[in-house]
Amino acid sequence: MTSKLSRISWKYFQKLTLPAVIAVTVLFAPGCKKFLDVPPKDLVPQATLLKDEQGFKDALTGVYLGMDKPKNGANYGLYTTNLSMGMMSTLAYNYDNATVPNIGVGGAFFNNVVYYVYLDGEVRKEIDGIWGGMYNNIANLNNILIQIGSKEEIFNRDNYNRVKGEATALRALFHFDLLRMFGQPPLSGPAVKAIPYVTQFTIRSTPFVTLQAGLDSCIVDLLAAKDMLAATDTSAVLKGVDDAFTSYTQNHLNYWAVQALLARVYLYKGDLENAEIYSKSVIGSNKFPLISSNVAGAANIIRDRTFSQEHLFSVYSTSIKDYSGSLFGTATALRLLPAGKNTVYTSGSGNASDYRYTSWFDNNASAINVPSKFFQDNNLPYELQGNVPVIRASEMYYIAAECANNKNDIASGASLLNKVRAARGLNALNAAGITNTDSLSTEIMREYQKEFIQEGQTFFYYKRLNKDLKQATGTVAVIPAGVYVFPIPDKEKEYNR
Amino acid sequence: MNYFKNKLTGKRRIFSMMAACTLFLFLITTNIVYGQEKTIPTVKGVVKNDGGDVLAGATVSVRGTKILTTTKSDGTFELKNVPEEAVLSVSYVGHTRTEIKLKPRQAEITIRMTSSSAVLTEVIVNNGLYRRPAGNFTGAAKTFTGEELKSVNPSNVLQALAVMEPSIRIEQNNALGSDPNQLPIIQIRGQNNLPLTTQGGAATSATPVSNGDIMSTYLLNPNQPLIILDGFQSTLQIIYDMDINRIASITVLKDAAATTAYGSKAANGVIVVETKQPLAGRTQIVYAVNMNVEIADLSSYRLLDAKGLLEAQRLAGVYTDPNNHFNDVSLKQWYDYRKYQVASGVNTYWLSQPIRTGIGTNHSLSISGGARSVRYSLSLNYNNGVGVMKGSGRERFGLNYTLSYTNRSLRFSNNTTVGHAKGYTTPWGSYSQYSAQFPFFKPTDSAGNTIKIFEPTGTALGIPGSPPGGVFTNTAYNAGLDMNNYGYTTTFSNNTNVEWTINKEMRLRGAVGFSNNMPGSEAFFPADHTMFVNALAAGVADLGSYTQSRGKNKSIDGRINFDYNRKFGVHTVMAAFGVSMQATESNSTTVQVSGLPNDYLNQLGMANGYGTIIKPAATNNVTRSLSSYISVSYNYADRYTAEITANASGSSQFGSNNRLAPFWAGGVAWNVDKEKFFKKNDIIQNVRVRLTTGITGNQNFAAHMSQPVFQYNLLNNYRLQLGAVVQSYANPDLKWQQTLKSNLGVTAALLKGKVNIGFDYFTENTDNLILPLDVAPSTGFVNYQDNLGAVKNSGYEFSISSPIIQNRTKNIFWSLSFNVGHYQNEITKLSPAIEALNKANNSTTNPELKQTTPLPRFEVGQSMTRIWAVPSLGIDPATGKEVFVKLDGSKTFVWDPNDKKPVGDGNSKLKGMIGSNFNYKGFTFNINLTYQVGGQMYNQTLVDKIENVNLLVTNADERVLTERWKQPGDIVSYKSLVANGTNGLQQTNATSRFVQDNDYLEAASTTIGYTFPTNLAWVKKLRLSTPRLFITQNNVFRFATIKTERGTGYPFSRSFSFGLSTTF
């Protein structure tokens, strides 16, 4: 009897086997995809990172870090060396000893740069690296902007607008600087194809647009960014506060910096009306007042060599000490020789009392007098360390002055310029010498030359106005044709037709 | 009654139909007739083995009942109330289960059993997922028993496998020689991947020890075959460290039909390792001891002695400076000092200093037994592998426990393995340092203390300048220091198998495996170590270093298999279906610290800081994969066989758009001799032709290539915030590489079994090779990975074996075997990015490129192993300069990388083995010769030790003095040794002059063994059953066309093994 029972149950058991096997298999199938979705842990999968606010903040911070060392970038830091104290300043003839071989960190790099040999292997590599690094940053920004979409609900306070606004503005900044480097000078080639303006995250290449169209896209992005950032807390310019993300306003591309950038872009485009509006708006905000005493000449522990309160936006990097040390700290340091220094600072309307003359040059460890804007003194307060200005308040006065000058309002122009001169320990311009727009223009250029040593903006100033480089800089180099336009990387030409 | 019976079978039929419909969509009708319900009161019988001896203790049962007994000492048994025409089932240790159906009213029976080792190789093919009769199998596979492999090489199973199987090749690593801590690089039927780091490999593994991480080992060698140990994916390391006595069999699966069930992991072939399972019967104890003696093989070295070296240095201009008289005088004084040393008799043979005769032992003990339902086995193993360099070795401990329970239809088994292996790196340092050391340096001072710095300073000797070549330190000095340098790995694994025999036709099996592998390494170098001699100036804090790394690799596997096997009439149908999943996780941490001034401060925590190393390293990888297969085979009348297998694999490594990969294979086989038209003859008795084709995959690439991943920048912060950027452009369409494998095989038995031949021809077309594709940098990326390339491999394997003498009465057996394997490789498609890579390798301006060795270059139509060098006409007798041929045919003295042409191929055309196996009574004599023909090698030693030798700092080959060009008219093979201002160092770049044929014949193994007869008095007294003594010698001789210094970083060795094994 029992055996019969067991046989029957066995029989039914047998019958159920196959359906059971199939059921288990079928149950597996929908779980498959999820089971297989496990990227490695030491790298963070996008889906995990961009799930909350912190992830977006970190992705944005990644781009700020990329302004120093981006992926696919060059040998030298991007905004921290090539676009500031390194290549761009050398092109503006800030370091007249670069005409001697093996100056700087050794090798022929700066020597080739000062002679504008863009096609030299090393220089070419650096230019390709600028292109690659800038666009890698742009790709990261586009990824953030696509991923952030309308995920407003995962953000606290005004952080959605901060992230999205800053990302949009940074995209414009990078494209604008690419346009300034790789595009034709605005006076001679606004309709010439310049760069691709990339707004998608894709492996397919974006077609080249003209300088004009590129600048217009920058303006579109910046205006959008301005509106987004206007919706954030703009009551104060902060230093270190409890929230790391909103700390150090000046190290973020903030609301005012976006307006300053708009002024710079409009001016580059030749739209002086708008340039004046935005430069005045920044000046009028009074958030970034000009210095009132020579903070760059203060004792070492508080020595503010870059006049940091005037920074609308500066890039932070922990490596500035190394960069500055390798270029300016050695026996073969890059330098502006005494004659050149005097030409820039003390001749004409200049004076040896200029804070920039007295405090922006120091002897390095090898007792050589070098430009010292980026020296990081021992025990320097944290907030003064590692800043490389991208855009500063004094430029707003120069832009406003240029706009006034353009309207033949020489008096207003001179008065704007005098505000900066006063803040630099110089007397007001002798009104008798400023009789026409040309003379005021010359004074503005001289201010650019003095103010932006080691910051790289002077070269773009020359380019914007199609200045004769030989005349403007007094360089001994033969100026080749097309010196204002960097060569597009070969790989770009090959793969983006 | 009849009606009822039909109804019953009807139900069975429905069940079968369900199985058939869902599994393979064809219908099988079953028709079973049940026996009559009569019984026989007593059935008597006797159980014998194939030799006619009675078997005591065999289990005899009646199938389908609980009637069971064991045989007595005379092999007889008695069963009561046995149903008429019942099926008797007999099992015995080491024999296959035998089932015999009683004839009507039969009450007496003699049952003969066959030993199982023979059955394993001939009848069943096991692919690790399911077993099937060889008749239903069309694929190319080869099985070797553990015993066969052990007789070839008792200490290295992988070497043994390479000797026996022509399709397996082990990459000769000339630098690492016979280092016991180096895993061989193996491949089956050639390589399917470009040897580039573009596969995302290499850099991802931070752990210095070759560890048990499944993923990283494949990334390091993307051509490595899949390793399956008892049904679960395993690593080469585990097989390498495993006790050879535990191995029951190793099956090498080669073609698509054999491997497709493994889907996306199968393209490189599969090595299936099965361990011995406990057998029922009385408790059996097997003990084997093996002593392994290793002797360094230094015969390939021909270094200069003290006098010769000094002369060579003098000729090379080491002791002159024509441009600076002051230096010149100083150098002359150094020459005089060294000459005095030579004259005083210093002539140290450095090569023998770090060398010893390594004597290692392997003990292996296993106990197994149990009744019919519960069986167990326990095996213990201790192996002490001793390398030929002093202080190097590998110690292994192993414990394995298996418990199985079988009832009528369920079989449950659980297996636990614990292993620990510790590999010691020699404190004597790299062997290349000893071949470089000057023979006119003394190893010890007059008091017998080891010298640390060889020469006194110039000041001490009153010589104004520093010695030529700088400060020389004695690497041997480090051997006397208290330092640690070892790696270890602890392995734990537990596998559970459940097998349910539903009925005669159907079986369901499930298995779960868990393994945990914990590798680590410790390396401590005290401040007194010679590596810090020149770093003294760097400051005390950085002297001495300690590196510690820890890893943990876990994997969990699960599997369900169902198989169906039925024979009706002339038809045999076999089907198997299964699902498996795997999850692995591996991580590792490495910390390095500096500043441990004393050698007794040998702890990580004793360091005074991180020195210049600022960051610990860590990796963490997670992978998951899923695979399901279905395989159906059909055999008609033992004549025709057809099979088809399909697999769907998924892996977390694939792009999100391509998560599940389909693979398939099909094959047919034809037993020609079973046809009616095949007349019986004396020449050919047996011919079987097989043809298979199918697609398999390879997923040995890094996961981040297909998925968007952010990478944190941990070295920098932005105002105290960390940032992350997109790591690379993830290609969501990225697919597995797929290989279309085709195989045509013929096996035949000739001359009444006197000659057996096997032949396989194969082609493997790998498509979708993952290569980088360059894109416009304005996309933000330099390139991305896509399926772009293609490679074709083709070749054949041929084997012939012949039992020449088989005399049972006189007990003489002699068999010969020969095999040969050939494969060739051709790149059929490449991405443009590779062209850029080729160009970069032709650069003369990049100082990091070493043109002294042929750099890889990949071109469509060429093989991956092609050697590219500039064609050379030899040395111009007039000038002593090398004459090159440019691409346009003109001659030049100037070497230009753009003149490189394909001048050889690193892949040898033929590789194989010749073996002889002789048995007389208890004596065994085996010899296996391996050979390789038709490949080339760039003789780097000649270049490095004769022409590019920097005599300022290293010793050289004696041919530097004897065979280099000296004066006009000399017709020699080597460039002039002339001081050209840089101490005779004229760089010789990749030239066809040093491309040499790499053919060899080597006695891979020779074994002499003796099995003591069981009737000896002492054998009986000690209750031993098969005591066996054997001596194996590996690499007795080697004839090679190329003479290189073999084993530059670690010497090669010849080994002798003495083994004794016995069963209690």
Residue of A nearest to B729 (CA): A203
What residue of A is the nearest CA neighbor of B13?
Answer: A15
From A316, which residue of chain B is nearest by alpha-carbon distance?
B718
Q: Which of A52, A128, A203 to mutate to test the interface with B (most CBs of B within 10 A)?
A: A203
**Contacts of residue A36 in chain B, CB cutoff 8 Å?**
624-626, 650-652, 654, 659
Chain B residues touching A205 at Cβ < 8 A? 775-776, 778-779
**Contact A198/B620, CB-based, under 8 Å?**
no
- The distance from CA B1007 to its chain's CA centroid, rounded to whole angstroms, is 22
Q: A228: alpha, beta or left, given left = phi > 0 and alpha = psi -120 to 50?
A: alpha
d(CA B125, CA B130) in angstroms, rounded, equals 8
What are the start-end ranges of the H helices in A290-431?
320-328, 338-345, 355-359, 393-406, 410-423
Per DSSP, the three-state class of B712 is: strand
C-alpha closest to that of B642 among B674, B670, B662: B670
The nearest alpha carbon in chain B to A196 belongs to B778
For residue B404 the two structure tokens come to 């199985």
As a whole number of angstroms, the distance between CA A256 and CA B771 comes to 46
Token reading at B732: 């969501």
Mutate to test the interface with B, among A7, A9, A21 (most CBs of B within 10 A): A21
Q: A25 and B579: CB-CB below 8 Å?
A: yes
Contact B262, B152 (CB under 8 A): no
Lookup: tokens for A195 = 């760069």
Is residue B594 classed as helix, strand or coil in its secondary structure? strand
In the chain, the amino acid numbered A65 is L
Backbone angles phi, psi at B900, to 5 degrees: -60, 140
Angle between helices A410-423 and A393-406 (to 10 degrees): 160
Residues B18, A19: C-beta atoms closer than 8 Å: yes
Other CB atoms within 10 Å distance of the CB of residue B167: 25
Look at residues B69, B84, B73 and name the one whose alpha carbon lies nearest to residue B39: B84
> Which pair of structure tokens corresponds to residue B607?
């360091």
Nearest to A491 among B659, B713, B776 (CB): B776
Question: What is the rounded CA–CA span in Å between residue B60 and residue B98?
Answer: 10
Distances in Å between the alpha carbon of A433 and those of A327, A439, A474, B952? 38, 7, 22, 72
**Whether the complex's predicted ipTM surpasses the cut of 0.90:** no
Please judge whether A36 and B18 are an interchain contact, meaning their C-beta atoms are less than 8 angstroms apart: no
Return the structure tokens found at B608.
């005074």
Q: What span, in angstroms and rounded, lies between the C-alpha atoms of B990 and B947?
A: 12
Q: At what angle do helices A393-406 and A272-285 cross, to 10 degrees?
A: 140
Mutate to test the interface with B, among A4, A51, A65, A193 (most CBs of B within 10 A): A65
Per-position DSSP letters for B501-549, written without gaps between them: E-SSSEEEEEEEEEEEEEEEEEEEE-TTSGGGGGGGGG-GGGSSEEEEE
pTM > 0.80: no
pLDDT of residue B813: 85
**Interatomic CA distance for residues B519 and B734, integer angstroms:** 32
Q: Which residue stretches of B24-167 are H helix?
A: 116-122, 146-152, 157-164
Written as six digits, the tokens of B725 are 């950027």
Nearest alpha-carbon partner for B276 in B415, B447, B462: B415
Whether A264 and A395 have beta carbons less than 8 Å apart is answered as yes
What span, in angstroms and rounded, lies between the C-alpha atoms of B869 and B877? 22
Contact yes or no for B718 and A245 at CB 8 A: no
- Supply φ then ψ for residue A409, to 5 degrees: -90, 70
The list of chain B residues with pLDDT below 70 reads 1-37, 50-53, 93-96, 115-123, 172-175, 194-221, 536-541, 612-614, 653-656, 699-704, 845-848, 977-986, 1025-1026, 1044-1047
What integer is the mean pLDDT of A453-467?
94
Residue from the list B11, B711, B782 with its beta carbon closest to the beta carbon of A132 = B782
Tokens 């026409």 correspond to what residue?
A436
CA separation (Å) from A97 to A334, A341, A353, A451, A455? 6, 12, 24, 20, 18
Distance from the Cα of A492 to chain B's closest Cα (Å) equals 5
Q: What does the alpha-carbon distance between residue A293 and residue B143 come to, in Å, rounded to a whole number? A: 89
Residues of A with Cβ-Cβ distance to B778 under 8 angstroms = 131, 135, 195-196, 198, 205-206, 492, 496
Q: Would you give the DSSP letter of residue B351?
A: G
| Closest partner CB to B708 (pick from A46, A66, A131) | A46
Q: How many Å is the Cα radius of gyration of chain B?
A: 33
The residue count for chain A? 497
CB contact under 8 A, A135 and B777: yes
Cβ–Cβ below 8 Å for B624 and A38: yes
CA B887, distance to chain mean position in Å, is 40
Note whether B729 contacts A203, CB cutoff 8 Å: yes
Q: Which residues lie closer than 8 Å to B241 by C-beta, 6 or more apart? A: B394, B396, B398, B419, B421, B489, B491
Put simply, the answer to whether A40 touches B15 (Cβ < 8 Å) is: no
Task: Quote the DSSP letter at residue A56.
Answer: H
Q: Choose the closest CB to A495 out of B22, B503, B774.
A: B774
CB A235 within 8 Å of CB A286:
no
- Asked if A14 and B502 come within 8 Å (Cβ–Cβ), the reply is yes
- Look-up: residue for tokens 């092609």? B866
DSSP secondary structure string, A2-45?
Answer: HHHHHHHHHHHHHHHHHHHHHHHHHHHHHHHHHHH----SSSEE
The pLDDT of residue B179 is: 78
Of B186, B278, B274, the C-alpha closest to B232 is B274
A384: exposed, middle or buried (Cβ count in 10 Å: 0-12, 13-18, 19+): middle
Which member of A65, A121, A203 has the closest CB to residue B779?
A: A203
By 3-state DSSP, what share of chain B in percent is helix, strand and coil, each rounded to 5? 15, 45, 40
Q: Are B805 and B814 spatial neighbours (Cβ–Cβ below 8 Å)?
A: yes
Of these ranges, A26-30, A258-262, A325-329, B469-473, the one predicted with the greatest mean pLDDT is A258-262
| pLDDT at residue A143 greater than cutoff 80 | yes
Nearest-CA residue of chain A relative to B18?
A18
Q: Copy the structure tokens of residue A305.
A: 């060599």
Q: What is the phi/psi pair of residue A190, to 5°?
A: -65, -25
Sort out which chain A residues have CB atoms less than 8 A from B782's CB and list them. 72, 132, 491
pLDDT-derived band at A94 (thresholds 50, 70, 90) equals very high
Task: Tell me which amino acid residue B933 is.
Answer: V
Cβ-defined contact of A36 to B776 (cutoff 8 Å): no
Tokens 């004409």 locate to A348
How far is residue A306 from each of residues A294, A361, A374, A377, B576, measured CA to CA in Å? 11, 12, 8, 12, 76
Instruction: Flag if B776 and A496 touch (Cβ within 8 Å).
Output: yes
Contact at CB, A40 and B724, closer than 8 angstroms: no
The structure tokens listed for B646 are 């399909």
A42 and B621 within 8 Å at the Cβ level: the answer is yes
Residue A44 to residue B562, Cβ atoms within 8 A: no
Count other Cβ atoms within 10 Å, centred on residue B312: 23
Chain-chain contact of A491 with B781 (C-beta, under 8 angstroms): no
Contact B472, B423 (CB under 8 A): no
| Of the candidates A491, A484, A492, the residue with the CA atom closest to the CA atom of residue A187 | A484
Are the CB atoms for B599 and B526 separated by under 8 Å?
Answer: yes
User: How many beta carbons lie within 10 A of that of residue B744, not counting itself?
Assistant: 17
Q: Are B778 and A205 inside 8 Å of each other by CB?
A: yes
- Torsions phi, psi for A412 (to 5 deg): -65, -45
Please tell me which of the candidates A137, A247, A492 has its beta carbon nearest to residue B719.
Answer: A247
In degrees rounded to 5, what are phi and psi of residue B353?
A: -60, -50
Q: Could you give the C-alpha distances from B313 to A171, B331, B341, B978, in angstroms and in order? A: 63, 12, 15, 10
Give the DSSP letter string of B234-299: --HHHHHHS-GGGEEEEEEE-SHHHHGGGGGG-TT-EEEEEEPPP-SEEEEEEEEEEEEEEEE--T
Please count the residue pairs, one from chain A and one from chain B, whose beta carbons lie less than 8 angstroms apart. 213
Amino acid at A60: L
